[in-house]
Chain A
Amino acid sequence: MTPPEPSTPSTPSAPTTPSETDAPDTIEVGLDGHADGWELVVGLEVHVELATATKLFCGCANEFGQEPNTNVCPVCLGLPGALPVLNELVVEYALRVGEAFHFDVPAQSVFARKNYFYPDMPKNFQTSQYDEPICLGGHLDVDGVRITITRAHMEEDTGKTTHVGGGGRIHDADFSLVDYNRAGVPLLEIVSEPDIRSSEQAKAYASELRATLEAIGVSDVKMEEGSMRVDANVSVRRRGSDGFGTRTETKNVNSIRSLGRAIEYERARQIEVLEAGGRVVQETRHWNENDGQTHSMRSKEEAYDYRYFPEPDLVPVAPTPEMRAAVRAAMPELPAARRDRLVAAWAITERDAAALLGTPGLADYAEAAVSALEALEALEALAVDGARGGSPRDIVNWVNGEIAGHLNETGSSPAALSLAPAALAELVGLVAAGTISRNQAKDVLGEALADGRRPARIVTDRGLAQVSDESSLGSVIDGILAANADAVAEYRAGDDKARKKKRGFFMGEAMKALAGQGNPQVLNRLLDEKLEGNG
């Protein structure tokens, strides 16, 4: 419905590469169809919507999904005479980002006007930062490789255009509607150097960036909703070459996975163009999730001259030493430290920890569930015969397994799950106590995710609770053994193979008698005792 138009501006200082690599004389083609003689070069421009209560320059609510043109005022509508006033919280968030990515934050930064006409931009200029951004020269370490981050700057978002009629694209629409609710929402644009050499690395960088932004609480980082938008500057060059190839900028990438796919597609496309003796055109391209391709967004590349100049309606931003110190003192744990802590505290693998941090909100969910589990066990420890044994690892297994799968399928977020973290802890407790088996727990989880009932309630409703009581199980087994004296005799006389078979038979009969709710561990033990013991 709403194809992104070139309204989200790209930075002026995007990694740019003037010279085009000459076509090679010989081509080596790998098994995957990619020419081995080529090296991929990627830089990422990430726009993050900051999760402030109000917009960048006015008091309008910064909310997603409201009725069109309800969160607007003279300032964010760019009405004649209206003036911007900087939201201090945005500066604080930018300082947090400065800390998290080891940026240099100069004594002052300056807003600038980026001038171009577009209907969803109320003033027909975007208030952004240009040659004096708030953050300069940071980095992010990804799997042992340091990716340099050129800059991060504050800017306002644009409105949103919807093209109605025809194919829903701008060219054949009957008319267009503009919603200015998003206009003036604070953005931070974070621009990396072209340091990335593979799509996997690009995904890891974007993922770590997202986890870090989430950890410092500056954004929802929802790629699907557009609160984090990743544009990929992709070029290829011959291996061993120092220069850069001509780059393209791919927009509309709505997930980390799509980022990898889009980069791979662009790499293959550019290599194909170059190997056919063509030239890569510097242009903006649009990733289409459905056909898995990038498409040129403009028939011919327009040379934009944004005529930047310092925004005369705002004064330079000069964070005080006190403000900087307060931000530094309040910095939360960053993902790398959190992964280390969880690995150590929960005895989980690096891979498990990385998976938790790879989905926004998932690690928080797991930590809440582990806390709930600990509280539960503390309570049960007070009770006589309180069953113990649920571990953080059990929680993580559920979270990274069934729950992550559910989130993938439904596109939901951990915070929105109808299964609260405490309910997951309850489920783990039920398994640990032997009340239900792990297989039963999967069904219970499925139902809990579907309708929000507590696991204990589902177990009761469905009569799932295992019979673990030794005297009842013992009398069931006694009855079966008595009714099948021949089989008992055969068992005792038989070889290992025969014994195993008979044992399976007794177990099956017992489960049949218990309608499948006998605790298998207890049944096994009692069978052993009764078959071997009183021979």
Chain B
Amino acid sequence: MSSSDSDHDRDHDRDRDLTSRSAAGLAAAVRSGEVSAREVVDAHLARIEALDGSVHAFLHVTADGARARADALDAQRRSDGPESLPPLAGVPVAVKDVLCTRGVPTTCGSRILEGWLPPYDATVVARLEASGAIAVGKANMDEFAMGSSTENSAFGPTHNPWDLGRVPGGSSGGSAAAVAAGFAPLALGTDTGGSIRQPAALCGVVGVKPTYGRVSRYGVVAFASSLDQVGPFARTVEDAALLLEAVWGHDPADSTSIPTPCEPILPGLERGVAGLRVGVVRELTEVDGIQPEVSAALEQAVKLLEQAGATLDSVSVPSAIYGLPAYYLIAPAEASSNLARFDGIRYGLRVVPGEPGSANAAAMNGATRHAGFGAEVKRRIMLGTYALSAGYYDAYYGQAQRVRTLIIRDFDRAYEHFDVLLSPTTPTTAFPLGDKVDDPLAMYLSDVCTIPTNLAGAAAMSIPAGLDGSGLPIGVQVLAPGLGEAVMFRVARALELGFGFAARARPGGPA
């Protein structure tokens, strides 16, 4: 493309600049005409092309679609003027592969959906498009969002851009890594037990799990319906708010969607935390095996908020420690039912066993599920099937739902005294690939701090809080009551300012 080395270097610098900018900055630049949407998209696609071979954040890059969309926005700007552009016009975004995209492969990281082209867009995907954001690809994930490292993807793991030998977290590891690596300033993920916040922490980006019902689940391939929630990844708190505001709000196609209007986040983002009461959740801070640097980062967060004028105190949410076991009954129970539809009859993989013509539907069904699902998915289907079985329902699923009620009650009590709560996002920084693959329980424990929020149906987000001794990002978690996104973001913004964390990962060395 370039006719000389200096041109090439200039292009390269230009691309590096564009892929470092925030979503807000890119949207402003496109609107002002400083850059075209096409240039922005090309810069990100070039970076993906150059580096995703080593990160593997994407399962499918939609380069042609993204360029066409960018050209259309540029044409719109020329014909109808900059004011006609929607708020996120020209901003690249990575979309977790659990979200249905019309005519674009949607696998959920599973062999069983290989080759399936959804005939419809998820509501959030449609709203993303309406906001002007441009989907550049489908992000890798643990199969059906079951996992905390993205190693359960049937198509190979994603590598943490900060250290390619380590996991990016999961299940939305591809989305988190894409944002950390500069493949897109924004990404959508889903969070069922921490699947946005934990990878956000491990990749040094902002990750938000909104209130259950605040973002539509229509077109989100279900893992655990009563816990799943879509949310944004970004490198800045403001960008996360921009993306959340672009996709949230009532959707009549989702019966669990909350009809009340959303309190906007951005207008109050810089209001500070003076006078806010912040509780540090004892049960989520004193977890077994917590890395000292993670505890230190939380201490630092407490100090920063106090300095900014908030009142800090310790608070107990006694039932929070039962969140993990309750979660591992409720989520698999719902999953066992949600994943029953993958039977080889209507779409996706079909494996016909035995001689041609000899198989019946049940045998085909069994062979398809045997070949199509990975080990962790099978483990959870079996766990959930067992938990719902006659004679065990009350002891397992029923008991877990009672624990859930207790957790909701305990959080409600805490929020009588505090505006938001604080905890680590995850007990440790990113662990090496393969480290916990053979120890599911150890893997499950990386979500111990995030799970209670899902069970409570409330909101929480992870904010980068510096690096540990190995140069790996640490996250702190801000928890808010249901529909408390605005105050939660204010606290997150204060922490962002305090920590001054603006670093971006450099996968594969200086790029």
Contact = CB atoms under 8 A, between A and B. Distances in A.
Most B CB contacts (10 A, CB to CB) among A80, A305, A309, A315 go to A80
B389 A307 contact: yes
Interface string B317-356: 0000000000000000110110011110111000000000
Interface in B81-115: 99-100, 106, 108, 113
Nearest to A123: B341
Interface in A74-128: 74, 77-86, 113, 115, 117, 119, 122-125
Interface in B288-338: 333-334, 336-337
A124 B327 CA distance: 23
Contacts of B362: 117
Size bin of chain B's contact surface: 35 or more
B409 to A, nearest CB: 19
A125 B362 CA distance: 15
A451 interface: no
A122 B344 CA distance: 11
Contacts of B36: none
Contacts of A176: 361
Interface string A291-321: 0000000000000010111001111000000
Nearest to A58: B253
A79 B218 CA distance: 11
Most B CB contacts (10 A, CB to CB) among A78, A113, A309 go to A309
> 6 closest Cβ contacts across the A-B interface?
A124-B340, A307-B388, A312-B225, A312-B226, A80-B221, A81-B219
A77 B116 CA distance: 14
A224 interface: no
Given A78-B341, A117-B365, A119-B361, A83 B346 contact: no
Interface stretch (B118-126, B279-287, B418-426): B118-126
B334 A82 contact: no
A124 B343 contact: yes
A58 to B, nearest CB: 9
Contacts of A119: 343, 345, 361
A174 B226 CA distance: 41
Contacts of B337: 113, 115, 125, 307, 309
Nearest to B120: A74
A450 interface: no
B108 A80 contact: yes
B222 A81 contact: yes
B349 to A, nearest CB: 13
A117 B397 contact: no
A74 B388 CA distance: 27
B341 A313 contact: no
Nearest to A314: B255
Contacts of A86: 255
25 contacts: A74-B119, A79-B100, A79-B118, A79-B119, A79-B346, A79-B347, A80-B100, A80-B222, A81-B221, A82-B120, A82-B218, A117-B362, A117-B365, A119-B361, A124-B341, A174-B357, A176-B361, A307-B389, A307-B390, A308-B388, A309-B393, A309-B397, A312-B256, A313-B255, A314-B255
A29 interface: no
B379 to A, nearest CB: 17
Nearest to A77: B346
A315 B256 contact: yes
A80 B256 CA distance: 17
Contacts of B120: 74, 79, 82
A178 interface: yes
Interface string A250-277: 0000000000000000000000000000
A124 to B, nearest CB: 4
A406 to B, nearest CB: 43
A79 B342 CA distance: 9
Contacts of B99: 81
Most A CB contacts (10 A, CB to CB) among B99, B113, B345 go to B345
A410 B12 CA distance: 82
B254 interface: yes
B341 A305 contact: no
Interface of B: 99-100, 106, 108, 113, 116, 118-120, 122, 217-222, 224-226, 252-256, 333-334, 336-337, 340-343, 345-347, 357, 361-362, 365, 385, 388-390, 393, 397
Nearest to A115: B337
A77 B120 CA distance: 13
A77 B118 CA distance: 12
Interface of A: 74, 77-86, 113, 115, 117, 119, 122-125, 174, 176, 178, 305, 307-309, 312-315
B357 A81 contact: no
Contacts of A309: 333-334, 337, 388, 393, 397
A125 B340 contact: yes
Contact of B343 (A81, A115, A117): A117
Given A309-B334, A312-B225, A313-B222, 17 more contacts: A74-B118, A74-B120, A79-B118, A80-B116, A81-B218, A81-B220, A81-B221, A83-B253, A84-B255, A119-B361, A124-B340, A124-B343, A307-B388, A307-B393, A308-B388, A314-B256, A315-B256
A230 B469 CA distance: 72
Nearest to B225: A312
Contacts of B393: 307, 309
Contacts of A178: 345
Contacts of B347: 79-80
Contacts of B334: 309, 312
A122 B365 CA distance: 13
A81 B346 CA distance: 14
Contacts of A117: 340, 343, 362, 365
Given A74-B119, A79-B347, A124-B340, A313 B108 contact: no
A115 B388 contact: yes
B389 A305 contact: yes
A395 to B, nearest CB: 49
A85 B255 contact: yes
Nearest to A111: B255
Most B CB contacts (10 A, CB to CB) among A85, A115, A313 go to A313
A81 B256 contact: no
Contacts of B100: 79-81
A119 B256 CA distance: 28
A83 B217 contact: yes
Contacts of B122: 81
B499 to A, nearest CB: 36
Nearest to A171: B360
Contacts of A113: 337
B344 to A, nearest CB: 10
Most A CB contacts (10 A, CB to CB) among B116, B219, B252, B333 go to B219
A392 to B, nearest CB: 50
Most B CB contacts (10 A, CB to CB) among A81, A124, A309 go to A81
Nearest to A306: B390
A79 B118 CA distance: 8
Contacts of B365: 117
Contacts of A74: 118-120
B118 A81 contact: yes
B396 to A, nearest CB: 11
A84 B393 CA distance: 25
A82 B219 contact: yes
Most A CB contacts (10 A, CB to CB) among B100, B116, B343 go to B343
Nearest to A116: B340
Contacts of A85: 252-255
Given A119-B343, A124-B343, A178-B345, A80 B226 contact: no
A456 to B, nearest CB: 55
A119 B368 CA distance: 13
Contacts of A115: 336-337, 340, 388
A80 B144 CA distance: 11
Contacts of A82: 120, 218-219
Contacts of A307: 336-337, 385, 388-390, 393
Most A CB contacts (10 A, CB to CB) among B252, B337, B393 go to B337
Contacts of B108: 80
A171 to B, nearest CB: 9
